[in-house]
Amino acid sequence: MDKMLDFRTVHEAKAGPRWQALFEYHWPAYEQWYLSEGERERPGYLACYNALRRHMPELLGTYRALCELAGGGDLAARFLSLYQPPPYITGCSQAVLASPASTVLARNYDYPPELCEGTILYTHWNERRVIAMSDCLWGVLDGMNDRGLAVSLAFGGRKAVGEGFGAPIILRYILEFCDSVPEAAEVLARVPTHMAYNITVADAAGRYVTAMIGPDRRASIRRVPVATNHQKKIEWYAHALASETLIRERQLSILVDDETTTEERLIAAFSAPPLFRHDYRRGLGTVYTAVYRPRSGRAQFHWPGMNLDLSFDDFPEERITVRYGSRGLHSG
């Protein structure tokens, strides 16, 4: 049976009624997910607040404002901290093509469409304007800020779960308070994560790194332009086989290592196998392709037959309905 997902662009500089409406719409599903292992498995409010205060104190003002808009409830505040959330598994491929003239960060997000929020959020909560694909209502799956920094996350392909934050809140923190790859790398080395993720960061100056982070080891941050769903070596063989992580990594590495690869060629590769995946039955199909150009402040989102072109200066509010099924993907 086909699955449908509505993508919405939402522009609200300071969090207010539009964010509140998003919260009210998505909260029933998020509450069910947050309590899926039982409430006792989730940390209490004080533990969540103290973790944010210790590791990402600059976010506290925004966090308090969002908690208030969410109704001030205990459970919503714990959820919004993204501290120790339930574990979840994605696919994803991401790559940077950097030259003296321009930087492009492109990625495919592979996940069950019915579990995606589908909100592309343009905000100005702190000193930086941010355009990002939202997760958990203020977390970031991928995005960029107006200082020329772009980020993207992929699951790291390991079963380790520990004490720390969901990566989307760490990416939000980076976009709100960092201007460059070195600043982002410092955050990724310092802030604890509850699961294994591969975070790729690129900036307008052409710098890039991929950080392989996890709860049980120090972050490995290297000047690598490509990431899929394993860290250095395969540790979870079943997931690696199902997600074809090695095949996708090899394809991307060949592309970015080839001096003749243009931005157009790289982006086109994300709309074809092995990078574009139709495995929606197992929750490993491609939900969208995102392309960030941090130097020009442009973000593009692609689906077969449909493109969305956005920038900090031109961000129309739209809704796009995408249908995912065994015969492929259709937008309208």
Q: What is the 3-state secondary structure (H, E, C) of 47-87?
A: HHHHHHHHHCHHHHHHHHHHHHHCCCCHHHHHHHCCECCCC
Closest CA to 126 of 68, 199, 203, 66: 66
CA distances from 31 to 28, 73, 120, 167 (A): 5, 12, 21, 19
DSSP-assigned beta bridge partners for residue 222: 210
Cα 270 from Cα 291, distance rounded (Å): 10
First to last CA, the chain: 18
* Cβ contacts of 273 within 8 Å, gap of 6 or more: none
The dihedral region occupied by 144, where left means phi > 0, alpha psi between -120 and 50, and beta the remainder, is: beta
φ, ψ at 323 (rounded to 5°): -110, 125
Cα 201 from Cα 185, distance rounded (Å): 8
Print pLDDT tens along the chain (332 aa).
788 999 999 999 999 999 999 999 999 999 999 999 999 999 999 999 999 999 999 999 999 999 999 999 999 999 999 999 999 888 899 999 998 889 999 999 999 999 999 999 999 999 999 999 999 999 999 999 999 999 999 999 999 999 999 999 999 999 999 999 999 999 999 999 999 999 999 999 999 999 999 999 999 999 999 999 999 999 999 999 999 999 999 999 999 999 999 999 999 999 999 999 998 988 889 999 999 999 999 999 999 889 999 999 999 999 999 999 866 666 65
Residue 173, amino acid: Y
Q: Hey, how many other C-beta atoms are within 10 angstroms of the C-beta on 36?
A: 11
